[in-house]
A and B are shown apart, each in its own frame.
Chain A
Amino acid sequence: MIFVTTGTQAPFDRLIQMVDEMAPEIEGHEVIAQAFKGTYIAKHIQVLDFLEPKKFKELFDNADLIISHAGMGTVISALTTGKTLIIVPRNAKLGEHRNDHQLATARKLDELNYVHVAFDSGTLVKLTKRLLNEDNSGNPPKVAEFASGRLISSLRKYIHDGA
Chain B
Amino acid sequence: MNLYIELLASTIRMSVPLILACIAGLWSERAGIVDIGLEGKMLIAAFVAASASAVFGSAWIGLFCAILASLAFALVHGYASINQRGNQVVSGVAINMLAAGLAVVLGNEWFREGGRTPALPPEGRFLPFEFPMLYDIPVVGPFAKIFLTHSILAYFAFAIVPISAWALARTRFGLRLRAVGENPQAVDTAGISVAALRYRAVIIAGVLCGVAGAFISTSLSSSFVRDMTAGSGFMALAALIFANWRAFPALGACLLFGFLQAVGNFTQGASIGGFQIPVQFINMLPYVLTVVLLAGFIGKSVPPKASGIPYVKDR
Mutual binders A and B: no
Binding site for A on B (CB under 8 A): none
